[in-house]
Structure 1
């Protein structure tokens, strides 16, 4: 028997339930949490992958959670208290086109899932998928809280609201956490103080996903922005790497040189990794990633990782092994608990702008802090971006709105306008249109 004061029986619908990354993290975090129990309905277009996660999930933890692969969105969503969306819009072959076909035209991308030619085409693929998901949530789980982890975050979350305006959805991203961890390292090095956990660094977050900025930061009574100014100046040329670490250790690591340069340029602390930040500007950083000490993550690497995870999954099934019980560092489970009234939480989320980002367009999906409590996600007023950052953010917001509309209506003309408006598209119009058409063709998307 569970203590009813600490444990609530709930249903989680997991769309993308065959995931070998995010789903396993959720399994681990749910097993480690003592406040909740219930069932997780795993829906995936790859039903076999969902069945594998059913087996792994039911071997994880102490049996508080029951996992079940289901064959339809209706079965997954019916009765759901919380819906998690974590899908790959398309395939890794599609993503390979997103990232590497533009290289034939001299355009390089470090991630290719948010902005740039890759992010735009991925958004066009994702928009109709998220329209279908929104319709299903409206029909089968209209009161469910919806947590989206899928990129392009802004386009996908915007589509949910576009199709179902009363949806209770928000986008979740961990990039700000990395900035908080960097500030912890800075406090230790420059002030000689240990920060027990990244949450002890208080930040005012403002912007759009992966182009997010910290305009205020503190630890206890200490204003950290002036400290960061000195920190960034010290490591602007060399980059910052804690002792024993190297940006070359992982394709996802960097030495923060892009972030330091952007702080010196704009006066706000960038709150995303260098790989994401670099793509929001003309190819200033992307033309020489070695100089700036970050990676262009190839889709070939992602495919190798996918094969490794498939082998790992087969081994886990054969050995009847559950997910490793190790905290992921994500906040999804704490968010769910807060929504259930089991502990309030202040964190960063992506929501339609109701004024929390004062100088960004109303209704656009913006990322700011929010207070999560029982059955409520309340965005926190975060002030205004510096004017020069506002101008850059608005350009991308305009594109994201156009991509959501074009993906939903299959309007190639509108999609192309967003495509050529992206800062990474520096081609003449004829070459830009040729690249656009080739990418659409490879993805089998476009006007019907």
Structure 2
């Protein structure tokens, strides 16, 4: 990397999963819109042709008049070539296909177990983790061998376990898990300020929050705007909209299963007095089937079950648009994605100090959770340094909920590394959504194991 007048060039970023048609577009746009950074994005994907497509797309953006910085995109056929000499590594992969995802999400429905997302916890999250962890073992080993000093950004779910696997294999890795769920809750607080106090023009950076928990099951126990305590206002806000919910667009949840009316979030505030800081679809999956008992219950809480078919349909639309981008029929819209990878890069490079929420192993920043387990709290980004902010401790009744999942995640990690079917089943039946007779649970578990066995070499299946 080279510095010149607060600009940094020749940054080398390896992007594992660089054939993506989703996150890659966001990254290309975010980098093009920043005028301080430039360099090379080294694209690696198991499907080399897809990486080459993003090479073409990324390089085409350099010719846009609105582009503020020039990045070179280059596809590499091997992980070694992509990693050697890089400064940063981004990981955003899909562990499996829609076929395995369909098993994760819909096989449990035959037994009355419903999941709104199915990629983090519950039966779906467990099996996605069993597929992901071996991939992350390989990635961590490659990073340790070819780019041990690089900073590693993980974007893949299950976020906690993928990030945990990196540290398990390469303890000295400089890795972090990045998730935007907290940003959505800060956005909700901004809309609350407008609705309840008529305050407009608030930027997310002005809403300061203390974050505690694990990915997708995060909590806020302090929230301020210009030194104003927002918790009393949030209580009144919850009371005002508890029954109706509160959305950007009224009843958007009815037609868009990727959104929700925040009623789960409001209910959890009434129960525990803290702001549940992830989206309703994720939050609901960490609890007993209070909100996911059946589709009717889900509708009463004003969110939806995101089917795998809807993801297949979305993929088809993305592929069609992507084809137009590659042919030049369409231009990639250059608009900020809302992710924070550019600001995080600038923090670690030393251009600015920056604080945001990330997932890293607990080194004492969160009390009540075992050391070494991956937790989500705020952290300070500065020159080649990432320091967690001391977040404190959740109330016992909330910490108990989080701790149950933390210990189960550690069990899943052990099962995946040892290829131990018995340990994986113990984790399966310990999940609060798996409210089944143990014999039924065994049948479901065995079927889901069969459905994903192609990704579990060496397992006794």
Same fold (TM over 0.5): yes
| Residue 349 of structure 2 corresponds to residue 340 of structure 1 | yes
Q: Does 1:226 align with 2:232?
A: yes
**Structure 1 stretches of 4+ moved >6 Å:** none
Equivalent of residue 367 in structure 2, options 348, 358, 366: 358
Tell me the equivalent position of 2:30.
29
Cα deviations across residues 74-106 of structure 1 (Å, max 9, x unaligned)?
011001100000001111111111000111111
CA distance in 2, matches of 1:388, 1:93: 38
**Corresponding position: 1:66 with 2:78:** no
SS of match in other structure, 2:211:
strand
Query: What is the alpha-carbon distance in structure 1 between the residues aligned to residue 148 and residue 4 of structure 2?
Result: 29
In the TM superposition, what is the alpha-carbon distance from 1:373 to its structure 2 partner?
Answer: 0.8
Give the paired residue count: 448
Deviations 1:176-208 (A, max 9, x none): 000000000001111111243111100000000
**Aligned-residue offset at 1:37:** 0.5
TM-superposed CA distance for 1:429, in Å, is 0.9
Q: What SS does the aligned partner of 2:393 have?
A: coil
Give a deviation string over 1:242-271, Cα, whole Å, max 9, x none: 465632242211110000000000111010
Q: Tell me the SS of whatever aligns to 2:366.
A: coil
Name the residue aligned to 1:41.
42
Report the counterpart of residue 447 of structure 1 in structure 2. 459
Alignment-derived partner of residue 429 in structure 1: 438
Q: What secondary structure is seen at the aligned counterpart in 2 of 1:181?
A: helix
Question: 2 CA distance for matches of 1:5 and 1:108?
Answer: 51
Q: Which has the higher contact order (CA 8 A, sep 6+)?
A: 1
Matched, 1:377 2:402: no
Change (3 A) 1:373 1:245: farther
Contact 2:251 2:261 in 1 (8 A): no
The aligned counterpart of 2:127 is: 121
Instruction: Tell me how far apart the structure 2 counterparts of residues 152 and 326 of structure 1 sit (CA, whole Å).
Output: 27
1:123-202 paired onto structure 2 within 5 Å: 123-202=129-208
Residues 276-299 of structure 1: per-residue CA shift (max 9 Å, x gap): 000001111012111000011011
For residues 254-403 of structure 1, the aligned pairs below 5 Å read 254-287=260-293, 288-319=297-328, 323-403=332-412
Contact 1:27 1:323 (8 Å CA) reproduced: no
| d(CA) in 1 for partners of 2:202, 2:371 | 37
Q: 2: CA distance between counterparts of 1:395 and 1:12? A: 36
Please give the TM-score of this superposition, normalised by the length of structure 1: 0.97
Q: Residue 56 of structure 1 contacts residue 321 of structure 1 at CA under 8 Å; is this kept in 2?
A: no
SS at match of 2:116: coil
Name the SS for the 2:367 alignment partner.
coil
TM-score (structure 2 length as normaliser): 0.95
Which of 415, 422, 425 is the matching residue for 1:416? 425
